[in-house]
Structure 1
Amino acid sequence: MKLFDVHNFDMKKEQDFLQVQFNLQNRINLSPVIHPDSVNTCAGVDLAYWERDGEPYGVCSIIVIDADTKEVIEKVHSVGKISVPYVSGFLAFRELPLIIEAAEKLEAEPDVFLFDGNGYLHYNHMGVATHAAFFLGKPTIGIAKTYLKIKGCDFVTPENEVGAYTDIIIDGVVYGRALRTRRDVKPIFLSCGHDIDLESSYQITMSLINQESRLPIPVRLADLETHVLRTFYRKNHV
């Protein structure tokens, strides 16, 4: 489903960004289309940026793992000049072209995509994990390392126990969860993307945590890979 051409995208006005987000809001599905126990493959998605000659460039890494063995099945990436300017609250517009380009290279078909970024936990419920789902056609989950403060609302720190969480409720609406995936480590901020509910997102995320990171394995691997790729492309001026 292409709601705009991400390969020829030239929106400059905040109002245009808002209109696209509002058009998509009513299509967000917070009911699961897959049960956590039925997930066989998971993909982690992350991006990294740099500048060359004053121009922004980016690289997107997608890493697919086996949900049971946690072994890497496939790695793909895309790289290119960033044509959409950064506007607070509209990061997805900046990242979508590279995300979709990378996803089109996948031979594996992930059951769920986990993003290094927000989903429903967003000013307009349209973080990158939610927005990208309308192109990927799969359930998505947002995993943010830092808290996006909305309407001045802070989160309640969860207890220092693995799996402890507190729901982030703003104006009576559950936006996401502050989740403690490891003891003595800062929480992550979990939110639904699309075609999934918060409890399923929680179960899938917790099933992908190991002792190496507070992040679920595919997101951590994608994060590490983007740093390697950024170093390579910076050095080789590609």
Structure 2
Amino acid sequence: MKEKYIKKFVEKQDELKKLVYLQNTFLVEEIKLVAGVDLAYWVKDKKEYGTCSIVVIDYNTKEIVEQVDYFDEITVPYISGFLAFRELPLILKTVKKLKTKPDIYMFDGNGYLHYRHMGIATHASFYLNKPTIGIAKSYLKIENVDFIMPENLKGAHTDIVINNDVYGRCLRTRENVKPIFVSCGNWIDLDTATELTLHFIEKDSRLPITTRYADLATHQSRKRVLGDK
């Protein structure tokens, strides 16, 4: 059954991949609002559901400006490498609930660091029309290439290079914590994506507060929907 999806999904990814632009289309000093995006899933009565949370944060004060959630049934099956096709419908419906207009979106997931450079951060950019960044907690191994562990210093990083192409960056956001994996989504360069990620790191987490707060919000949203205490 999944085979019927794969051909169509690959064609769409190949079409969009040609349009990816890994340079800044904005000035960092003009950034005002940055959104974190994450999703959570569950199964009930043999149906799969998902909830998307978007948390918008003021770039300068780092205060939460807005939070919205949306849940619905998931109809696209999970297929490795094509997660965006499952998540995008929920994300776009959640974005419609926003009253603010984020300048940049940061996703709990990958962007250019993907088999066909089409992780959720990159794929979603074409529908959001905004620069995007992928923030992954675990490493997506591509073509059997391992990442190189950076020094145990805040801001230390090593680039993930596959076939002479820089896919992303292994970044140590704090001392004595596991690194995270940053990749461009679209319309941003890797150094700026790294800079923005570090800007939102606080002392109690290795993750930027953008995607960290979004992750926490998805769990709260799921509990509300399921009626859990």
How do 1:129-144 and structure 2 match up within 5 A? 129-144=121-136
- The aligned amino acid for 1:53 is D
1:138-195 deviation digits (Å, cap 9, x = unpaired)? 0000000000000000000010000000000000000000000011100000000011
Matched, 1:95 2:87: yes
Unaligned 5+ segments in structure 2 are none
Looking at structure 2, the residues matched to 138 and 77 of structure 1 have their Cα atoms a distance apart, in angstroms, of 20
May I ask how many residue pairs the two structures share in their alignment?
227
- Out of 6, 12, 31, the position equivalent to 1:14 is 6
How do 1:1-238 and structure 2 match up within 5 A? 12-235=4-227
SS in 1 for 2:125: helix
Shift, 1:107, TM fit:
1.0
Shift, 1:54, TM fit:
1.4
- The aligned amino acid for 2:156 is A
- The aligned amino acid for 1:16 is K
Seen in structure 2, the aligned counterparts of structure 1 residues 85 and 187 have a Cα distance that, compared at 3 Å, is same
Looking at structure 2, the residues matched to 229 and 152 of structure 1 have their Cα atoms a distance apart, in angstroms, of 37
Looking at structure 2, the residues matched to 11 and 98 of structure 1 have their Cα atoms a distance apart, in angstroms, of 23
Unaligned 5+ segments in structure 1 are 1-9
SS in 2 for 1:83: coil
Looking at structure 2, the residues matched to 82 and 135 of structure 1 have their Cα atoms a distance apart, in angstroms, of 19
Q: TM-score, normalized by length of structure 2?
A: 0.97
Q: What is the aligned-residue RMSD (CA, Å)? A: 1.3
Q: TM-score, normalized by length of structure 1?
A: 0.93
SS in 2 for 1:63: strand
Shift, 1:235, TM fit:
2.1
Shift, 1:11, TM fit:
9.2
Looking at structure 2, the residues matched to 12 and 113 of structure 1 have their Cα atoms a distance apart, in angstroms, of 31
Range 175-184 or range 29-38, more displaced: 29-38
Fraction of identical pairs, as percent: 53
Shift, 1:13, TM fit:
2.2
Looking at structure 2, the residues matched to 118 and 15 of structure 1 have their Cα atoms a distance apart, in angstroms, of 21
Looking at structure 2, the residues matched to 143 and 49 of structure 1 have their Cα atoms a distance apart, in angstroms, of 19
1:46-65 deviation digits (Å, cap 9, x = unpaired)? 00000001111000000001
Range 58-67 or range 226-235, more displaced: 226-235
SS in 2 for 1:60: strand
